Structure 1
Amino acid sequence: MMSKLNRRRIIQLGCGGAALAALPSALWASSGIGRFLEYRDISAPGLPAQRLTIWLPPGYSEGTTRYRVLYMHDAQNLFDPALSNFNKVWAADTAMMRHAAESGEDPWIIVGIWSPGVDRYRQYLPLPAYEQVDGTLRAAMDDYARGAIVSHLYLQWITGALKPWLDSALRTKPEPQNTAIIGSSMGGLISLYAFLEYPEVFGRAGCVSTHWPAIAPQSVDATDPDLVAIWTGMLSDKLSEPCGRKLWFDHGTATLDAFYPPYQAAIDTHMSTTSWQRGRDWESRSYEGAEHEENAWAARLPEVLNWVFS
């Protein structure tokens, strides 16, 4: 069942540079399904205005427990169908509570970062991938982006401003093994970029229905070695020793996801040549018949969380 965010439990605030720590303690009152905090119009250097929806687990305000933190993209599609792009959501809070019940562990705080509308593509496309291509592929990326690629600035903002801000204001466990990042489609690409670029920050990542073609998949050849090399090159350059870190890949087989298996097979082959051990350090799964949409991601999110967090 999809969760519906109770609007009476949302606190909406413009950020204006104010620290979370300065907010009144009444904001932390708990409810049966946790608490939602919302921040709008957050200034971030070189980026469109950012927006957050943060989910605090039930009981957060009643104790001294420190919580692990999951960062997720496309926050408008995580919790409330009424706020979503397609009237359906991941039900991330419900999935997190299911994970907690099944694992016997405390749930994680979820920090949902909204996508910036028309600027989503240029905020999520990994800069190293963009810099590797030229010709028609570069032109197509430019056409989609409609502006400068700013994914590196997005990650700099998350790691250099947002995370320190939250770690100072919330009872978090800030270590990389206690910090995860998950996204779907282009959000899968930016999650991989974050995991590779900032191993000292993100110890766990989930790349769900990753949009490996980067542009319209009908316009590129999935067997093109240059296209596949964009991603295997990033992995070769940035994937350090596992050291307890965990990386998840998946895809469905219907709608847009039907284009992904050849790309993921190449990624899986590359991963098998590294020191990372499948099933322990990384995983790749296919969901037969699953489409490229939020209901499909909601259906498997508990499984994703159980593996990534284990």
Structure 2
Amino acid sequence: MVSTTTTELMKKFFLLLSVWILHVQFLMAQPQVQSGQLESLGIFKSNFVQDRQVDVWLPNGYSSEQKYQVLYMHDGQMLWDANTTWNKQEWEVDENMGKLLEDKKVPPCIIVGVHNVEAIRHADYFPEKPFKSLKKASQDSIYALKRGTEPLFGGIQIDSDDYLKFLVKELKPYIDTHYAVYTDRSHTFVAGSSMGGLISMYAICEYPEIFGAAACISTHWPGIFSNENNPVPQAFFNYLEKHLPDPATHKIYFDYGTATLDALYEVHQLKVDEIMRTKGYTAENWETRKFEGENHSEDSWKKRLAIPFTFIMN
């Protein structure tokens, strides 16, 4: 017969073992970086959008004795470590930025990685004002679209205006007060790919006083997943013609590949390029690059990430 004391000891042992296993699982789920240091802010509370995870990458030698530029990046869970991503790919942001800083090709900076909420990512990142400029029939047909068996917009209304309010009115003030950063426009940037490219374009247009540069990588100009009978790109063009920020104080980078989903983009990017020229953008403050043979994936984006980083930060 097992004594009461032995039973209690066994209970404590298994409780401690369970806590240890959970701790190991937590550590295994956390992204590991090869350069610099990654700080998790945990689930960041918001009054505008659904709460979400936020990470802050600090470069090697980070010190509160100096000031750093700030780059806000979307799809934060895809940036650092392929071992923790759904498709086992990553942007290699820490490796890319760490090497640029080591070679002194960009000024000192920190990177804020804002995780997406998968089910509502399309609703968060789809530029709201261009969408609302569409006829109601077009809006309704777009809202009815599905990706697989799930609603494309997660069953909610497009709320990218609120997503930008979250970045500008909640997250940025926190970063500005908790890290040694410049807070002005000329040192504050935004970047993302695909739908993240669209919301980066939208961010610099909606908040030109906040963001001085945007990197829009593999920008998803169709908004949905077909170019056929699609009114969305024209709505984006009309919006850009009215809302592009002043080229004297802003820089914008675009790029695209030619394979998989990126094959849809060139026809639209060429029209965007015409608008950029008309609005006074030149090689000094705007760049569009085509990457022949590259597809729509983190494996493609990580290979060229140093190019937009260097362009927007210098």
> TM over 0.5, yes or no?
yes
Q: Determine if the alignment matches structure 1 residue 86 to structure 2 residue 90.
A: no
Q: Deviations over 1:225-267 (max 9, x none)?
A: x543211211122113212310001000000000100010111
Q: 2:149 maps to what in 1?
A: none
* Deviation sequence 1:113-140 (CA, Å, 0-9, x none): 0001101010001111210113553234
Runs of 4+ in 1 over 4 A off after TM superposition: none
1:69 alignment partner, SS class: strand
Between 1:128-137 and 1:189-198, the stretch displaced more is 128-137
SS of corresponding position for 1:167: helix
- Match runs of 1:81-230 below 5 Å: 81-134=82-135, 137-143=138-144, 144-145=152-153, 146-217=155-226, 220-221=228-229, 226-230=231-235
Equivalent of residue 254 in structure 1, options 259, 267, 281: 259
Query: In the aligned structure 1, how far is the partner of 2:207 from the partner of 2:130?
Result: 16
Task: Tell me how far 1:59 sits from its aligned partner.
Answer: 1.1
1: CA distance between counterparts of 2:34 and 2:295? 32
The structural deviation recorded for 1:32 is 7.8
Q: Which amino acid aligns with 2:218?
A: S
- More divergent stretch after superposition (197-206 vs 125-134): 125-134
Alignment of 1:295-310 (within 5 A): 295-310=299-314
Q: Contact between 2:107 and 2:313, CA under 8 Å: does it hold in 1?
A: no
Whole-Å Cα distance in 2 between the matches of residues 295 and 135 of structure 1?
38
Q: 1:104 offset after TM fit, Å? A: 4.4
C-alpha distance after superposition, 1:172-220 (max 9, x if no partner) = 01111101100000000100010000011000100000111001125x3
SS at match of 2:293: coil
Equivalent position SS for 1:174 = coil
- In our comparison, the structure showing a higher alpha carbon Rg is 2
Q: 1:269-300 deviations in whole A, cap 9, x for unaligned?
A: 111111222x1111111000000000100000
Q: Is the 8 A contact 1:204 1:245 kept in 2?
A: yes
**Residue in structure 1 matched with residue 276 of structure 2 by the alignment:** 271
Q: Which moved more, 1:49-58 or 1:249-258?
A: 49-58
AA at the equivalent of 1:57: P
Tell me which moved more, 235-244 or 172-181: 235-244
| Structure 1 residues without counterparts, runs of 5 or longer | 1-6, 12-30
Cα contact 1:140–1:215 (8 A) shared by 2: no
Cα drift, residue 165 of structure 1: 1.1
Alpha-carbon distance in 2 for matches of 1:104, 1:249: 20
Q: Distance in 2 between matches of 1:290 and 1:266?
A: 21
Asked if the contact 1:48–1:119 (Cα under 8 Å) also holds between the matched residues in 2, the reply is: no
Contact kept, 8 Å, 2:131 with 2:232, in 1: the verdict is no
Match of residue 43, structure 1, among 42, 45, 51: 45
CA deviation string 1:35-84 (max 9, x = no partner): 111123322123111110110111114x5111000000001100011221
Match of residue 241 from structure 2 = 236
Q: Which amino acid aligns with 1:113?
A: V
Distance in 1 of aligned mates of 2:241 and 2:38:
39
Q: Call closer, same or farther: CA 1:32–1:65 in 2, change over 3 Å.
A: farther
The corresponding residue for 1:25 is none
Q: Is the 8 A contact 1:70 1:182 kept in 2?
A: yes
Task: Give the drift of 1:105.
Answer: 4.2
Q: Percent identity?
A: 32
| 8 Å contact kept, 2:34–2:94 | no
The corresponding residue for 2:288 is 284
| Cα pair 2:258 2:291 within 8 Å, conserved | yes
Aligned residues: 280
Secondary structure of the corresponding residue to residue 171 of structure 1: coil
Cα distance in 2, alignment partners of residues 107 and 51 from structure 1:
24
Instruction: Please state whether the residue corresponding to 1:217 is helix, strand or coil.
Output: coil
Compute the TM-score of the two structures, normalised by the length of structure 1.
Answer: 0.85
| Cα distance change of structure 1 residues 235 and 253 upon mapping to structure 2, 3 Å threshold | same
